[in-house]
Amino acid sequence: MTRKTRIHTQRAMQPAVRCRAMRLNVMVSSVDRDIRDFLGGKSAGEDLLRRLYDRVLDEPVPDHLRSLLRR
């Protein structure tokens, strides 16, 4: 690739990169924010765990796993 072609390619890619980065900033969800807060030490993570796993807590424990836990 020649220098001139490389420069044109870089210029052509810059708007796409900027546009994609802007879209990513807009799409930050509340779960993402909770993860960042937890990793940054701003929260203990209770709300995050509830959002991620609360629906799983309502599922019944399979019988074969229950029998293993009783041993």
Predicted confidence band at 2 (pLDDT cuts at 50, 70, 90)?
Answer: low
Under a CB-based contact definition with an 8 Å cutoff, are residues 48 and 31 in contact? Answer: yes
Stronger pLDDT, 30 or 2, i.e. the higher one = 30
Mean pLDDT of 47-64: 88
Q: How many residues does the chain have?
A: 71
Domain locations in the chain? 3-70
